[in-house]
Structure 1
C-alpha cells in the first residue's frame, strides 16, 4: 500500500491521513477490519477508557514464575533488540499467550507516555480488553501483526505504533508474544523485521532447550546459512526417532509436524544414524551433505547432546568405563542461555574491546586464556564464549584445577578403567575431557595444575586423543579449550612452575577482565544483577546507595557485589522495592567507613600542610568529607568521629 493516505480499518472503513507522510507496511486491511468487527462483538466502544490497572505484585510474581522458561530465554533477546532501538521512543514488551505483559524494557522518555496506557508487567493487552492492537491481534491471528496509529480500535491508543510477532513452542503451541511499541511518530519500516527475527531467535533457543538429550540437526540447502536464523533445526532420539522441528525446519522438510512423527532420521535424510556417529568420531568433522526425502540436497551440522550421547559414539575402541558410566544430570539450560557475549556487554569500553576480540575467534579453533582478579567473572565469560560459539549445543564442562586434590586431578581429567588404581570405581570413570567431547572444556585456575600433568594435557591438545588411566587405547576427542587464571603465568614459567610449551598452546588469544572498580558500567551491572536476584521484580537501589557503591573498591569484584545484592533483596520488607543503607550488610558499611577514615586522614595531612589556621583545617576537612559522602551529615560525622552538631556548627556557610 502506497500514497499519503491509509485505511483505518474500523467498522466504517474510514480513510485518515498519515501524520508523518510515510505509510507503514501494515498488516492487511482485511485482517485489521476483521479485528475491528471482533471489537464490536466484544461490546467495546472506540472512545472508551479501558481498565489499565495491573494485577497485584504477588500475582505478577506468579505470572513470571508460570512463564519462567519463556522469560529466561526471551530476556537476553529483548535486551539485544532494545539496544538496536534505544533512544527511538520505543519499548520492548513480552507477553504470555493471553496477552498479559510479563516484562518490558523502554526508553525513559517514552515510559511516561506508555504509563498512560499501562504498558507494564501485569496488564493484559488482549483484543477483548484493549481492542485492536498488535499484541492482542497477533494472538488471535497467530501471525506477525503491525498496528499503526489510528488503526488501533481505541482512540486512546492512536498515539502508538506496535509491531508484534507470536512465539511458538516446539509443539507448535502459541506461548507468548514479542512486541515493540512506540510513539507513532517514531515508526520505522524495519522494526517489524527486527521483531520477527527476535521472536524466531527465542523460538530456536526454546527448541534447543527442550531437547537436551538426543540428536539435534541444523540443516539448510546453502551451507552459509547453517548457524543463522535461516537454518532448519530437527531433533531425534539417540536411536533416530523424529521428535520435532522448528518452523523453518518444517518448511524445508515439506511435511506438517503430525506427519513427521512417523519418520526417523534415516527416512528423512537418507542416512542411517550410525553413519552420523561415524562422521563425528573424526577429530574435526566437516559439514554433512545429505539428501532429503523429497530429493533436495542439504548441508547439516549435528549436535550429539549430553554426556551419554557423546560417550557412546566417540569410538568403537572406547573402554567399557566410558560406556557404563551413568549420564551426568543436564545443566540448567535456561541459566546457560542467559549468558552470552552480548549480555555481558553493558557499556564499558574495556569490555567492548574484549568482546570484539573474542567474537573474531569464535569457531576458529583458537584457544582462549582469560586472566583477571578473583571474582571478575572469568567463568561467566567462558560460558558466554561457549554459548555464542558453533559448539553451543554441545557440553560445557568446567574444571577448577585448584579445587581438585593433586592426587585426583589426573583421574578426574583423563578418566580411568576398572582396576586402574586402588579405590577406583568399578567399571571405571569417564574423565572431564571426554565429557566435553563435541563441546568446550573450561580449565579454571589453570596455574594450579600440577606440572606433571601439564605434559599430558599438552598431548591432548596437540594430538586430540585421550588415554585413560589403566588403558592402552587412545580415544579421539574433539574439544575447544578455554583457560582462566588470576596468576602471572609468565612469572611461573620463569620459576619452572608452568610449562612454556603449554603456555604458548593455550594463549592463542589472551584477554584480561577488568576489575569492577575500573569499570564504567556499574549502574547497568547493578540493575542486571538485581533483575536476576529479584526474579523480575522492580527492585532498585537508592541514589545514596549507588553513590556508596561507586566509592567502594570492591576487592571481591562481581562475586562480592552479587552476594551483597542478594542479601539486600532478602532484607527488603513487604512492599519495599528500593534498597537503602539500612538493607546493606554491616561488613560492607564497615569497609566503606574504613576507606573513608583513611581518605579523611590523608586529606587532613594534605590540608594541614597548606592551611594557615586550625579553623581553616577544620572547615576544609569537613567540606571535603561532606562532598565525599554526598552531603550526608550523619555519614560525615561517623567518618570524622564527631557529633552531627559539631558538623553543623563548623561546616562552611557556602554550599559544599
Structure 2
C-alpha cells in the first residue's frame, strides 16, 4: 500500500511538470531535472501510464550482442570482478550497448522472478526514450556517470529501484556501452549509494582501457601517469602512435591532454592533430627509446600544454615485441609449447617437462580426470630423443584384471587356453625403443605391481609361459587422478613401486584453475574444426559461458561440449544457446531463467511440435524417436519456436 501511495504521488509530481509547473522540482538534481523535461517534452511519455518492461526477442538480442562482440569478450573479467564485490550487497550487474539494451548480465538466481518483473535481466531495454529517466538511459544521453535513486526514476514502476551507471567510450570518445549496478531495494537516503558511483566508474574505465589496448595491440602505445609508481601498474593515459609520432587514437585521459594542447595552441586546420613529440615536448627518438633509457623502462617528460611532469612507458606491438624477444627465447619445442600460453602452473609443468624430455627418469603425471595427462605424456615423448620410437598407451583401469597381465607382458604359444596360436608380444615389448604410458596406474592390481617393479628394476620382461626374460629398452611414463599416498597407506599400492615410477612428478592444474582457459578453448575448438573441415565462429556469449563454467570433467568435457555445439548449431556460428544445458547457465552465473521471456508459439511447425510434446508428456527422447532426429535437434527446434516445457514456464514467469 505504501508503494502504491508513493507511485501515485510521483505520478502527480510529473503530471504537474508536464503541465508546466516546475515549483515541485526545486530539490531535484539538475541532471535528473533535464531528463524529466526530455521525457515529458521531447519523448511525450505519459507519467500517468507506466510502461511495461520491454524485452527484445532472442534474434534481436543476438544482433545487439553481435554489434559489441569484441567488447563483450574484453569486458568479461571486469564484469566478473565487479559483480563479485556487489553481489553480497544484493546488487545485480548490467552491461548494455549504446542503445541501452542489456547484452550481458549477472544476478542471483533466487531473485529471478522479481528481477525479471523489474527489467533487470538480459535483453531488457533501458533506452531513456522508452523507459524514461533511469541510470542507463540517462547515462547514455548525458555521456556521464550517474546514480538514479528510487523516485528519481521517471516511470512510477521503477521508484523502488536504485541504479548507478557509468559510460564506456570507444577510442574516439563515443559511448559504446554502459556498466550498471542495480538493486531492487535500498535505504531511502541518496547518500546510501555514494559507494556505487566511484566503483562503477573505476571498472568502466578499466574495461574502456582494456578495450583500447585490445583494439590497438598492433600499434605503439604510450602509457603515462603523473606518478612513476603507477605507470606499469595502471597508467591512466594511453595514446596509440605511429613510428613517426603521429597520433592514431587516445583514451579519455589522453584525449584530455590533446584537448588541452589544442586549446593552448589552436591548429591552423580543424583536422590537425598534435604529434606525440609535441604533446610530451620531446624528440620521437626519445619516445621510441624509452625501454632502453632506464632500468624500470619509464622516462619523465614535460607535458607541453600544462608544464607538468609526466612519466611515460612504451608498449610495443605484439609482432615487434615477439621479434625483439625471439633471440633470447629458448628453442621452441612445438609438442610442449602448444599445451599452454600464460598459465603460471602450466609454465612450471612445461619448464620441468622440457628438462626431462631427454632423460630416462620415470615420470608420474597427476591431475584430475580429463586434464590432458595422456596429451602431456605424448608431448613429452614427441619432444624427446625417443620420438622416432613407438608411444604405447595402456589404460590400466580399462583392461579387465584377468587380461591385463597377458596384455602387458605377452605370452608364448600354448601359454593358456584361448590365447593366440602364435602367442603375442606384450605392450611392454611393443614399446621397445619408445615410451610406455600407463594411465590410471593407481588401478593396477596389486599382484601385477610386483611384476612391473621387476621390469623397471631389471629392464627385462618375462612373457607368460616363457622361461627366459627378454631385455626391453623403454621409458615409462605413468598417470593417475587418484591420491597415491592414500592408496599406499591403505595397502592398495606398493610404496617401492611408487618411488620407482615417481622419479619426477608433473602435476596438471584443473581447467577451472588455468589462467589461459581462453587459449585452451580456442585450441580445442580449432582442432575440432580442422577434423571436420568446417569454418564456424565461436561467438562472444558462447565464449563467456565456456570461460565461466567450472568444467568438472576438464578438457575432456570441454571437447565433448564443443563437439555437441558443432553438431547441433544451425548457423555458421555457435552461440551460448548451442552449448549443452550445463554450460548455458555459466554465463554471468545466471541460469536459463535469465533468458528473455519466450514468445507465444505462433508458427505451424512450433504448434505441431508443442502438440506432439504435450501428447507424450513432454518426453523429448520419445518425440526425437518419433521424428527420427536427435534429442539436441528437438531442443534446438523448441528454442527456435519458443516451445517451453511446463517446468520451465515456472522459471520464466
Report the TM-score when normalising by structure 2.
0.50
User: Is it true that 1:85 corresponds to 2:86 in the alignment?
Assistant: yes
**1:310-334: CA deviation from partner (whole Å, max 9, x where unpaired):** 64x789xx99xxxxxxxxxxxxxxx
Larger Rg: 2
C-alpha displacement of 1:568 = 3.0
In the alignment, structure 1 segments of 5+ residues that lack a partner are 17-25, 320-335, 345-350, 355-370, 379-399, 409-447, 449-484, 489-493, 504-509, 520-524, 584-633, 635-656
Of 208, 214, 219, the residue aligned with 1:209 is 214
Q: Judging changes above 3 Å, is the alpha-carbon distance between structure 1 residues 290 and 114 closer, same or farther for their aligned structure 2 residues?
A: same
**1:454-491: CA deviation from partner (whole Å, max 9, x where unpaired):** xxxxxxxxxxxxxxxxxxxxxxxxxxxxxxx9999xxx
Q: Is the 8 A contact 1:233 1:246 kept in 2?
A: yes
- Quote the Cα distance in structure 2 between the aligned partners of 1:158 and 1:251: 36
- Quote the Cα distance in structure 2 between the aligned partners of 1:538 and 1:156: 35
- Quote the Cα distance in structure 2 between the aligned partners of 1:515 and 1:222: 39
Aligned twin of 2:72? 71
User: Aligned residue pairs: how many?
Assistant: 391
- Quote the Cα distance in structure 2 between the aligned partners of 1:307 and 1:534: 25
SS of structure 2 residue aligned to 1:73? helix
C-alpha displacement of 1:61 = 1.8
SS of structure 2 residue aligned to 1:280? helix
Aligned twin of 2:166? 165
Q: Judging changes above 3 Å, is the alpha-carbon distance between structure 1 residues 120 and 264 closer, same or farther for their aligned structure 2 residues?
A: same
SS of structure 2 residue aligned to 1:293? coil
Of 274, 277, 280, the residue aligned with 2:291 is 280
User: Is it true that 1:271 corresponds to 2:271 in the alignment?
Assistant: no
Aligned twin of 1:134? 135
- Quote the Cα distance in structure 2 between the aligned partners of 1:194 and 1:486: 50
- Quote the Cα distance in structure 2 between the aligned partners of 1:405 and 1:261: 59
- Quote the Cα distance in structure 1 between the aligned partners of 2:538 and 2:545: 11
**1:167-195: CA deviation from partner (whole Å, max 9, x where unpaired):** 11001111111111112316532111111
User: Is it true that 1:297 corresponds to 2:309 in the alignment?
Assistant: yes
Q: Is the 8 A contact 1:200 1:229 kept in 2?
A: no
- Quote the Cα distance in structure 2 between the aligned partners of 1:486 and 1:208: 43
Query: Matches of residues 241-260 of structure 1 in structure 2 within 5 Å?
Result: 241-252=246-257, 254-255=260-261
Aligned twin of 2:273? 262
Q: Judging changes above 3 Å, is the alpha-carbon distance between structure 1 residues 149 and 227 closer, same or farther for their aligned structure 2 residues?
A: farther
**1:388-425: CA deviation from partner (whole Å, max 9, x where unpaired):** xxxxxxxxxxxx887668899xxxxxxxxxxxxxxxxx
C-alpha displacement of 1:375 = 8.9
Query: Matches of residues 178-577 of structure 1 in structure 2 within 5 Å?
Result: 178-185=179-186, 188-229=193-234, 231-252=236-257, 254-255=260-261, 262-281=273-292, 284-294=295-305, 295-308=307-320, 311=323, 373=367, 514-515=509-510, 535-536=540-541, 554=553, 558-572=554-568
- Quote the Cα distance in structure 2 between the aligned partners of 1:173 and 1:539: 25
* Worse-superposed segment, 80-89 or 566-575: 566-575
C-alpha displacement of 1:75 = 1.8
- Quote the Cα distance in structure 1 between the aligned partners of 2:113 and 2:543: 16
- Quote the Cα distance in structure 2 between the aligned partners of 1:221 and 1:173: 25
Q: Judging changes above 3 Å, is the alpha-carbon distance between structure 1 residues 261 and 376 closer, same or farther for their aligned structure 2 residues?
A: farther
SS of structure 2 residue aligned to 1:87? helix
Aligned twin of 1:411? none
Q: Judging changes above 3 Å, is the alpha-carbon distance between structure 1 residues 579 and 287 closer, same or farther for their aligned structure 2 residues?
A: closer
Q: Judging changes above 3 Å, is the alpha-carbon distance between structure 1 residues 405 and 279 closer, same or farther for their aligned structure 2 residues?
A: farther
- Quote the Cα distance in structure 2 between the aligned partners of 1:102 and 1:167: 14
Q: Judging changes above 3 Å, is the alpha-carbon distance between structure 1 residues 562 and 276 closer, same or farther for their aligned structure 2 residues?
A: same
Q: Is the 8 A contact 1:540 1:577 kept in 2?
A: no
SS of structure 1 residue aligned to 2:261? coil
Root-mean-square deviation (Å): 5.2
Q: Is the 8 A contact 1:374 1:486 kept in 2?
A: no
Aligned twin of 1:33? 33
C-alpha displacement of 1:49 = 3.6
C-alpha displacement of 1:29 = 1.0
- Quote the Cα distance in structure 2 between the aligned partners of 1:281 and 1:407: 43
**1:555-604: CA deviation from partner (whole Å, max 9, x where unpaired):** xxx221211222333455889778469x9xxxxxxxxxxxxxxxxxxxxx
Q: Is the 8 A contact 2:220 2:240 kept in 1?
A: yes
In the alignment, structure 2 segments of 5+ residues that lack a partner are 1-5, 329-340, 349-364, 373-378, 388-434, 436-476, 481-498, 515-519, 526-536, 571-575, 585-620, 622-653
User: Is it true that 1:104 corresponds to 2:100 in the alignment?
Assistant: no
- Quote the Cα distance in structure 2 between the aligned partners of 1:403 and 1:273: 48
- Quote the Cα distance in structure 2 between the aligned partners of 1:282 and 1:15: 62
Q: Is the 8 A contact 1:163 1:191 kept in 2?
A: yes
- Quote the Cα distance in structure 1 between the aligned partners of 2:172 and 2:382: 42
User: Is it true that 1:150 corresponds to 2:156 in the alignment?
Assistant: no
Q: Is the 8 A contact 2:78 2:203 kept in 1?
A: yes
Report the TM-score when normalising by structure 1.
0.50
Q: Judging changes above 3 Å, is the alpha-carbon distance between structure 1 residues 515 and 102 closer, same or farther for their aligned structure 2 residues?
A: closer
- Quote the Cα distance in structure 2 between the aligned partners of 1:154 and 1:74: 30
**1:224-267: CA deviation from partner (whole Å, max 9, x where unpaired):** 23245562111111222111221122334533699695322222
SS of structure 2 residue aligned to 1:85? helix
* Worse-superposed segment, 103-112 or 90-99: 103-112
